[in-house]
Structure 1
Amino acid sequence: MRLAGSGSFVRMRCCVDTVAPHPPAMMAGGDVPQRHAAMRIEDHNVRGLPMAGQTPPPVPEGYHSVNPWIIPKGASGLIKFLEHVFSAVETKEARIPDRDGLLIHSEVRIGDSVIMIFDSKEDWPQTPSFLQVYVEDAESVLTRARNAGAEVVTELSDFMFGEKIARFFDPWGNLWWVHQRAEEVDQAAESARVEQEMESFDSEATDYVYDTLMRAMRDLRSRSR
């Protein structure tokens, strides 16, 4: 269980001895409300905290130094979308419901990375996330996203440094960059070519990739209303 707003991970099994008026909840800032169930720690090795006589690594196992948050209205639906589009795998034991039944914490893994997700409350503003994902088959990912209700911003295009790129808004308003490494290129030569194209904007492909991003970012204002 990795708690929203904290750097700890605890695996717990709850043994309910009394009827709880509310399910155990964890607030986004890491505050723990009084619990109404006796909880037995199944694995007391808390990630991010040292065991006696040990110094922990700076980053917990299975995580990166930077781990993004997505805070949509409808977190469970987004998780299903990511499972379908990116073959994401949810860490079931990390799922924590809030008192109102919404999710206050959940985690999915895409490739080697963890994305943390919890529900936006009714009176919170929309806060879209912006994420880049490397995939093996960008065309298949884009097709699945489109069929699942995504709005494609940038169709699959050749990009710099031997990569292909596509972009889409998911149905919750988050913007995704989908990258596929197509070929290895000479980095020095490619850097010089890219610099020339960006100075002159004389490449149709460069214009399209650039222009679709500018348009998508301008459209965010109308999406947040």
Structure 2
Amino acid sequence: MPVPEGFAVVTPYIFVDGGEDYVRFLEAAFGAREIGRSIAPDGRIANCQMRFETATIMISEASEDFPASSAAFYLYVDDADAAMDKALGAGADKIMDTADMPYGDLQGGIRDPAGNIWWISQRLSNGPYF
């Protein structure tokens, strides 16, 4: 089955109000980079692909037919504390301090300006998840 490079068989696709601001948040908070964009005739973002190292998500500006949605994401990083600080500095709200989890991750949580939850995790174990 052909899947574009950087995408997965299941790729998150979220609809947000203020699409341009949300794209800038993802860049500032997580170092995501824009790899493609299409604009709707009314000027809103129809589709914007954002790359997070080995993963890609897609963003669309909400509309009457496709209202804003929220989701939760689990993001692996090299340094959970530093990533939390960066996300908070970019405008996120903390929902959970970083802490050691029983499944081998150091994890904290934020809510982004669009209402999405991001679990920011640093893998501390080489073992299985559970």
Same fold (TM over 0.5): yes
Q: Does 1:78 align with 2:22?
A: yes
Q: Deviations over 1:70-115 (max 9, x none)?
A: 2110111111111111111111xx2111111110011010020000
What's the counterpart of residue 108 of structure 2? 166
Amino acid at match of 1:97: I
What's the counterpart of residue 98 of structure 2? 156
Unaligned runs of 5+ in 2: none
Unaligned runs of 5+ in 1: 1-56, 192-225
TM-score, scaled to structure 2: 0.90
What's the counterpart of residue 108 of structure 1? 50
What's the counterpart of residue 196 of structure 1? none
Q: Deviations over 1:156-207 (max 9, x none)?
A: 011122211111110111111111112335x5xx95xxxxxxxxxxxxxxxx
Q: In percent, how many aligned pairs have the same letter?
A: 33
**C-alpha contact 1:69 1:129 (8 A) present in aligned 2:** no
TM-score, scaled to structure 1: 0.54
* TM-superposed deviation, 1:122: 5.4
Q: CA RMSD in A?
A: 1.8
Q: Whose strand proportion is higher, 1 or 2?
A: 2
Aligned partners of 1:183 and 1:67: how far apart in 2? 26
For these two proteins, the number of residue pairs brought into alignment is 130
Aligned partners of 1:96 and 1:60: how far apart in 2? 17
What's the counterpart of residue 117 of structure 2? 175
Q: Whose helix proportion is higher, 1 or 2?
A: 1
Aligned partners of 1:166 and 1:70: how far apart in 2? 22
